[in-house]
Structure 1
Amino acid sequence: MSTENALLTILVDRINNDTLVLPTLPEVALKVRNSADDPDITLHSMADVIATDPALSARMIKVANSALMSRSVKVTTINQAVTRIGLRQIKNIATAMAMEQLFVSQNELIKGYMDKAWQKTIRVACHAMVLVKRYREGQRHELINTETITLAALTYNIGILPILTEAEKHPEVFANPSFLAHAIQKLAGKIGAAILTAWDFSDEFVEVAKNWSDPNYRPADVDFVDFVRMGAILEGILQVSDKSAALKVYVDKGIIPSVEVFADSEYQELVKDVRSVFS
């Protein structure tokens, strides 16, 4: 059996036997989520929780000042940022901003793969976040919201982490990048769904991770997976034979007015603004 097939067999067996080691939610994200679920939490107390992580604090201030919040007056403190974002949204936004902490490795080769994976995730997420914002401006769809798509788009490909971690034990597979891509394509959705289930995320997040790359999964109603798929198509992460035709599906579904929207300078500026949140 080749090394590649052996690795694939190991991964499949560990998934089926529930023995695959899954990543844990970053500690600060866990604290924020637990605090947000406390009915007695205040904005000031939430700000104190976030303030324990300087990197997360800085990123939350960037979110509060971004085009997503549609505000022109800048905030400069975490208390102001939490007040602007609001307790209802802070749980998902803060968790999303902490996701980068998982894409790390002491192995330089794995680190390179994880860095690239995180950058791809960010690019998809920026499109998805802007697309939801613009869709809501036209539809006022209460079930499709910015804070949920932010987290869904930053966890949609979380399943690659255990694959890369396991592959670290078989460094020879990295001589064949196409195999690794095949393993990720074959297993990342199932693993991602398992991770988000273990983290007690709701079904909407699990469904995105599980189904975003499955061509047979075609929700009739507007769904978060639609926005993630558009971002993945635009960035070439979801391979399609005809990009324009693939995106036109979302015109027909009423999510975007036309495929030309992606060339619009306003759209590109919004994506650029959101991208700055992650820099």
Structure 2
Amino acid sequence: MSTENALFTILVDRINSETLILPSLPEVALKVRASADDPDISSHAMADMIATDPALATRIIKLANSNLMNSSVKVTGVNQAVTCVGLGPIKNIATALAMEQLFVSQNPVIKGYMDTAWQKTNKAACHAMVLVQQFREQQQHARINADTITLAALTYNIGIVPILTEAEKHPEVFANPCFLAHAIQKLAGCIGAATLTAWGFSEEFVELAKLWCDPNYRPEDIEFVDFVRLGAILEGILQVSDKTAALQVYVDKGIIPSHVLFAEDEYQELVKDTYEVFL
């Protein structure tokens, strides 16, 4: 049996036996989510908690100053940023912004893969976030909101982390990037769903992680998966044979006005501004 097939078999066996080691939610995200569920939590107390993680605090401030928030006031501190973002959305947004902490490795080869995966993930998320913003400006859609898409678009592909971590034990497979891409395409969905289930995420997030790359899953209604798939297509995470035809599906569904949108300067600037939140 080849090394590639052996690794694939190991992954499948560990999934089936529920022995695959799944990543843990970052500590700061756990604290924010637990505190956000406290009906008596104040903006000041939440800000104090977020401030204990300088990287997260910086990103929250950047987000509050981004075009996504449409704030007319320059935000300079964490307390002000939490007030701008809102206690309701902060649970999802802070969790999403903490995700980078999981894409790490001491192995230089794995680190390269992790860095690339994170960059592609958050670039795809930026597309999804901007598209939701524009969609909501054109249509009032109660279910499709910014804080949920931020978390959904940064966690849907979390299944790649355990795959790359397991692959670290089999360095030979890195001579064949196509195999890794195949393993991720086949297994990341179920591993991601298992991870989000272990984290206590709602069924909505679990189902998205499980089904986003399943070509047979085509919801008739407009769902978060549509925006996630658009971002994944634009960043090459979701491979399609005909990109124009793939994008036309979302034109026909009424999510985007035209696939020409993505070449417009205004759209590119919005995506760039959003991406800077993660730098």
State the TM-score bracket (shorter-chain normalisation): over 0.9
Partner Cα separation in structure 2 for residue 172 and residue 241 of structure 1: 29
The AA in structure 1 aligned to 2:5 is N
Q: Deviations over 1:104-131 (max 9, x none)?
A: 0011111110000000001100100000
| Structure 1 residue aligned with 2:161 | 161
TM-score by length of 1: 0.99
The AA in structure 1 aligned to 2:209 is A
| Structure 1 residue aligned with 2:76 | 76
The AA in structure 1 aligned to 2:142 is E
| Structure 2 residue aligned with 1:32 | 32
Which residues in structure 2 correspond to 1:102-113 (within 5 Å)? 102-113=102-113
| Structure 2 residue aligned with 1:191 | 191
- 55-64 or 239-248, which moves further after superposition? 239-248
Partner Cα separation in structure 2 for residue 66 and residue 142 of structure 1: 22
Partner Cα separation in structure 2 for residue 52 and residue 131 of structure 1: 32
| Structure 2 residue aligned with 1:277 | 277
The AA in structure 1 aligned to 2:127 is H
| Structure 2 residue aligned with 1:90 | 90
- Using the TM superposition, give the Cα deviation of residue 72 of structure 1 relative to its aligned residue in structure 2, in angstroms: 3.0
| Structure 2 residue aligned with 1:264 | 264
> 2:71·2:84 contact (CA, 8 Å) conserved in 1?
no
Partner Cα separation in structure 2 for residue 174 and residue 110 of structure 1: 9
| Structure 1 residue aligned with 2:178 | 178
The AA in structure 1 aligned to 2:40 is D
- Using the TM superposition, give the Cα deviation of residue 4 of structure 1 relative to its aligned residue in structure 2, in angstroms: 0.8
The AA in structure 2 aligned to 1:271 is V
| Structure 2 residue aligned with 1:66 | 66
Partner Cα separation in structure 1 for residue 254 and residue 123 of structure 2: 23
> 1:152·1:224 contact (CA, 8 Å) conserved in 2?
yes
Three-state SS of the structure 1 residue aligned to 2:92 is: helix
Partner Cα separation in structure 2 for residue 210 and residue 276 of structure 1: 28
- Using the TM superposition, give the Cα deviation of residue 258 of structure 1 relative to its aligned residue in structure 2, in angstroms: 1.4
Q: Deviations over 1:209-238 (max 9, x none)?
A: 111111101011100110011111111221
Partner Cα separation in structure 2 for residue 157 and residue 269 of structure 1: 25
- 12-21 or 238-247, which moves further after superposition? 238-247
The AA in structure 2 aligned to 1:66 is S
> 1:36·1:87 contact (CA, 8 Å) conserved in 2?
yes
Q: Deviations over 1:126-157 (max 9, x none)?
A: 10000000000011211100000001101111
| Structure 1 residue aligned with 2:229 | 229
- 95-104 or 204-213, which moves further after superposition? 204-213
> 1:251·1:257 contact (CA, 8 Å) conserved in 2?
yes
> 1:204·1:224 contact (CA, 8 Å) conserved in 2?
no
Partner Cα separation in structure 2 for residue 113 and residue 148 of structure 1: 27
The AA in structure 2 aligned to 1:165 is T
- Using the TM superposition, give the Cα deviation of residue 192 of structure 1 relative to its aligned residue in structure 2, in angstroms: 0.3
Query: Are 1:216 and 2:228 matched, yes or no?
Result: no
Partner Cα separation in structure 1 for residue 226 and residue 267 of structure 2: 18
Identity %: 77
Query: Are 1:151 and 2:166 matched, yes or no?
Result: no
For structure 1, list consecutive stretches of 5 or more residues without a partner in the other structure.
Answer: none
